[in-house]
Amino acid sequence: MPEVALVFNGPIGAPATTRLRNAICTIANGGSTNNQIPSKFWLLISSTGGNVEEGFALYNLLRVLKFEVVTVNMGQIASIANVVFLGGSYRIACPESYFHFHDFDWTFSAAHTMTRDNLADISQLLEIGRTNKKAVFKSRTQLTDADFEALQFLDHPMIKNATFAKDKGIVHEISLPNLPAGTPILNVDY
């Protein structure tokens, strides 16, 4: 069975993630490898983050695929892209790559009149995003509640290098990806 690599350098949000999901589904259905389902899928990703809902949806999509998913930090993994990155069953960071963590925020596309209930609703959505992100990190890395407290994880912005990521189980190795010869490498262009 073939291996396939997909390059994604972009935000976690439409239209970029629509194209990313389409490419992943094409690969999952054998559309990029002569109708053969791959044995391994490499997601070579660099992202500044973006939409929380899109991030969790992509994380879950990567988790349900029936083949090995390797995520590779090719430069920067920031914000909700950290959750997407953790969708890989095996995770690699290039030596110069880094991880950026910060609290969630809410962006309005236009001026809004808000009621207390609207604000409470948004506050609840932000809080469940934080809770779920911490749960993903606890289940997919070696970060503990004590680490979250000591780091003030999601309370203050922080940038951590690949060595930190390896020490805390965010990645399994620090290296350039070693794609087998002949591995098709596709690009998500949005």
How confident is the model over 99-117, as pLDDT tens digits? 999 987 777 778 888 888 8
Instruction: Count CA atoms within 13 Å of residue 34 on its CB side.
Output: 4
Q: How far apart are CA 161 and CA 23, in angstroms?
A: 29
- List CB contacts of 16: < 8 A, sequence separation 6 or more: 8, 10, 50, 188, 190
| Cα-based angle 140, 141, 147 (whole degrees, multiple of 5) | 135
Picking from 50, 51, 27, 49, the residue whose alpha carbon sits closest to that of residue 40 is 27
Domain boundaries, the chain: 3-106+113-187
* pTM (predicted TM-score): 0.92
- How high is the pLDDT of residue 1? 62
Q: What is the mean pLDDT of residues 56-64?
A: 98
Q: What's the CATH code, domain 3-106+113-187?
A: 3.90.226.10
9 close to 78: Cβ distance less than 8 angstroms: no
pLDDT over 70 percentage in the chain: 98
Q: Is the pLDDT of residue 62 over 70?
A: yes
